[in-house]
């Protein structure tokens, strides 16, 4: 799993495979050419020289999908409580803090409400840079709430999945999320709204 690999890297190693978010220029990790960041964003994070696909953060994904990049975020403050007081090479609490600092998110998913091609829509995008996009209680709860909102407000739902699997640091609780989420999208049938999985 992604997190096991991550645990073996020294904590100080530079995040070489990450798209630089500061500055005007970005180096392509495939062709090593220097790209103008604005061009790269206009091409949906595909290298303008070689076509290499950069990893797309969840925020960029929502901005790309919603009309004019405008959306309202839901459930932003939901955060894990570390139910098992888990520790491997370092504590789960430390991992969460580090991931929050790197991504600006409290967990590995963002839910946004806005317009897609003019139609009110809810989109939930997962963030791989947050503990490998793994699904613990918070991601499960955010997705379930997004589905509930869609049913209540009769809105279509788009989920952009990008996950390293279950969040092992939350043990059985993370496994329970699958059971919680799996039957939920079918309920959109009742309000005759689509669920689109990307």
List interacting residues with Zn ion (CB under 5 A): 28, 30-31, 47, 49-50, 52
Q: Which residue has the tokens 């600092």?
A: 101
Phi, psi angle pair for 14, to nearest 5°: -70, 140
Least Å from the CB of residue 144 to Zn ion: 39
- In the bound state with Zn ion, the residue whose beta carbon lies nearer, of 50 and 198, is 50
Buried b (16+ CB within 10 A) or exposed e, 43-75: eebebeeeeeebebbbbbbbbebbeeeebeebb
Residue 20, SS3? coil
Least Å from the CB of residue 49 to Zn ion: 5
Least Å from the CB of residue 24 to Zn ion: 17
- In the bound state with Zn ion, the residue whose beta carbon lies nearer, of 31 and 41, is 31
**In this structure, what token pair is assigned to residue 171?**
């043990």
Contact present, 156 and 194 (Cβ < 8 Å) = yes
Least Å from the CB of residue 52 to Zn ion: 4
- In the bound state with Zn ion, the residue whose beta carbon lies nearer, of 28 and 166, is 28
**In this structure, what token pair is assigned to residue 47?**
């290298």
């Amino acid at each position: 799993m992604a997190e096991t690999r991550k645990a073996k890297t020294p904590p100080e190693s530079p995040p070489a495979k990450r798209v630089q978010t500061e500055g005007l220029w970005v180096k392509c990790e495939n062709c090593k050419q220097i790209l103008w960041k604005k061009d790269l964003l206009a091409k949906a994070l595909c290298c303008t020289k070689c076509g290499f696909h950069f990893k797309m953060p969840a925020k960029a994904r929502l901005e790309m999908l919603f009309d004019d990049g405008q959306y309202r975020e839901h459930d932003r403050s939901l955060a894990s409580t570390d139910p098992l007081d888990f520790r491997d090479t370092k504590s789960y609490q430390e991992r969460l803090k580090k991931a929050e600092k790197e991504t600006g998110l409290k967990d590995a998913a963002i839910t946004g409400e806005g317009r897609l091609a003019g139609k009110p829509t809810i989109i939930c995008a997962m963030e791989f840079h947050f503990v490998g996009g793994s699904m613990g209680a918070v991601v499960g709860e955010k997705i379930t709430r997004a589905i509930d909102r869609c049913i209540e407000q009769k809105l279509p739902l788009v989920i952009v999945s990008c996950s390293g699997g279950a969040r092992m640091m939350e043990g059985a609780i993370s496994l329970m999320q699958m059971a919680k989420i799996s039957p939920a999208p079918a309920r959109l049938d009742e309000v005759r709204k689509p669920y689109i999985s990307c």
